[in-house]
Amino acid sequence: MGSVDRRDFLKTTVRTAAAAAAAGASSGPAHGVTGANERIRVGCVGLRSRGWDHVRGFMKLKGKGVDVPVLCDIDRQILGRCARKLTEIRGSKPDTHVDVRKLLEDSSIDAIAIATPNHWHALATVWACQAGKDVYVEKPVSWCIREGRKMVEAARKYKRIVQVGQQRRSDPAIRKVAEQIRAGIIGDVYMARSLLFKRRRSIGVKPTTAPPKHIDFDLWLGPARKVPYHANLVHYNWHWFWEFGNGDIGNSGIHRLDLVRMTLGRTLPIKVSSMGGRFGYEDQGETPNTQTAIWTYEDGTMIVSDVRGLPTNSEPGIGSNIYYGSQGYMAGEQPSIDPDGKAYGGLPASQVKQRPVPGTGTEDHFYNFIEAMRSRRVEDLNCDILEGHLSAVLFHMANISYRLGKTLTFDPKTETFVDEGAKEANQFLTRDYREPFVVPEQV
């Protein structure tokens, strides 16, 4: 369980949440940072791969008053290695924790950045909001639909700034193209295709063993069922197991789906149908490597997603999105310019140029988060938790349809399934949590 006593942590969390609620959750970050020159201290949770990108992204903003003084990971080897690298960058050694609950007790930390497996995203975010921290949480925001809604409720209740790591929303060219499509540059959009063609090879079959001593596997499991350890779970291939991940449609595919929803200016559809399979090899993975999903909105507009993990053909906008309108189409996340200086659909190249957000690359999204922390304005975020939740609902709907083998009808207002198949489908909206790692009904 880690070094923190369970009851002590829960008492601390309740006291912190009560104090935040009584104070209106404050008008600034946990440590009271409000000015542009005040220092913002970020703790990073989950450090392998994308998590280390978080560390580097925030440290690139140290000239703007940002620091990463604490790291957290259930793998002590990764934790130690990243702490040594961060020491070289900062010039001083960061604090380290195995248990995120210990980090959340630190009142000097203003925000946490979460790059854990999907099944931990919601609980870590809710706990952080209750502890008075702002949150940067990786995509997808949730393991199931209910979790995403609870994250939104926690952010609003405790007046926290919660940014989702769907960083393509901070790309000014992509935002400009979205604006033009919504303005009718290709006419009335009747369909959008989300394409994810990403080669995924067999993960084989790993035997059940005792967890390595440097990994706190019980903490890694957290809210999920207690299952035996095998090497295909920690650290990456958990994506392909239903208990922890959501397949590639919820892994890389969420970026494409999020941009489609943003570009079309849509919230949630009323119907979904999905089919596919795990083809080409036999291994331990459970999620499909080939999956097609179709979402239909009330006015008949469709979103079609193709996820292909095996060799496939090329087509316009491969690995990206294609928008179809009554007067043309747009392929790619950025417009494809022909020799006449026109994009598909007739968008002039000059219209997609825009001054970039300060910083370069994906850290622009981190900068946007920091600026919103200072302004305390949710509307300043490029991807607020509500947007991340709504986009995640799409792939959750698709995965439920795939697993049941049924076309399903959805009520966007209640975020539940209705009509035929509803009872069976609604069982997938949440999970049975493992104490004490419970996403509460009342956040």
- Name the residue type at position 311: P
Q: Find out whether 366 and 383 touch, Cβ atoms under 8 Å.
A: no
- What is the percent of the chain where pLDDT is above 90? 78
All residues at 6 or more sequence positions from 297 whose CB lies less than 8 Å from its CB, including other chains: 266, 269, 270
A 10 A CB-CB count for 276 gives 20
All residues at 6 or more sequence positions from 111 whose CB lies less than 8 Å from its CB, including other chains: 29, 30, 40, 41, 42, 43, 128, 133, 134, 135, 136, 161, 369, 373
Token digits for 259? Answer: 């941009």
Give residue-wise pLDDT tens across range 122-134.
Answer: 999 999 999 999 9
Residue 69: pLDDT band with limits 50, 70, 90: very high
Q: What is the pLDDT of residue 9?
A: 45
- How far is residue 281's CA from residue 287's CA, in Å, rounded to a whole number? 13
Q: Find out whether 393 and 145 touch, Cβ atoms under 8 Å.
A: yes
Backbone phi and psi for residue 132, each to the nearest 5 degrees, phi listed first:
85, 20
Mean pLDDT, residues 277-286: 97
Mean pLDDT, residues 412-439: 97
Residue 320: pLDDT band with limits 50, 70, 90: confident
- How far is residue 440's CA from residue 443's CA, in Å, rounded to a whole number? 6
Q: What is the pLDDT of residue 331?
A: 82
Mean pLDDT, residues 411-415: 98
Lowest mean pLDDT among 26-30, 301-305, 314-318, 363-367: 26-30
Which residue, 141, 117, 140, 118, is CA-closest to 129? 141
Residue identified by tokens 């966007």 is 412
- How far is residue 36's CA from residue 174's CA, in Å, rounded to a whole number? 28
Token digits for 267? Answer: 């919230």
Cis peptide before 335 (omega within 30 of 0): no
Token digits for 379? Answer: 């509307």
- What is the percent of the chain where pLDDT is above 70? 84
Q: What is the pLDDT of residue 1?
A: 35
Token digits for 422? Answer: 């509803």
Where does residue 228 rank: exposed (0-12), middle (13-18), buried (19+ CB within 10 A)?
Answer: exposed
Residue 362: pLDDT band with limits 50, 70, 90: very low
Residue 24 has pLDDT above 80, yes or no: no
Mean pLDDT, residues 136-161: 98
Q: Which long-range contacts (CB under 8 A, 24 or more apart) does 92-97 make?
A: 94/68, 94/69, 94/70, 95/69, 95/70, 95/71, 96/70, 96/71, 96/72, 97/70, 97/71, 97/72
Q: What is the pLDDT of residue 12?
A: 45
When the pLDDT of each residue in the chain is averaged and rounded to a whole number, the result is 88
Give residue-wise pLDDT tens across range 169-195.
Answer: 998 888 888 998 999 988 999 999 999
Q: What is the pLDDT of residue 17?
A: 41
Residue 46 has pLDDT above 80, yes or no: yes
Residue 397: pLDDT band with limits 50, 70, 90: very high
Q: What is the pLDDT of residue 315?
A: 72
Domains and CATH numbers, the chain: 6-169+366-384 (3.40.50.720), 171-357+389-426 (3.30.360.10)
- How far is residue 245's CA from residue 284's CA, in Å, rounded to a whole number? 14
Mean pLDDT, residues 278-300: 98
Mean pLDDT, residues 49-78: 97
Residue identified by tokens 């950025």 is 334
Q: Find out whether 83 and 94 touch, Cβ atoms under 8 Å.
A: yes
Dihedral sign, Cα of residue 430, residue 432, residue 433, residue 438: positive
Residue 223 has pLDDT above 50, yes or no: yes
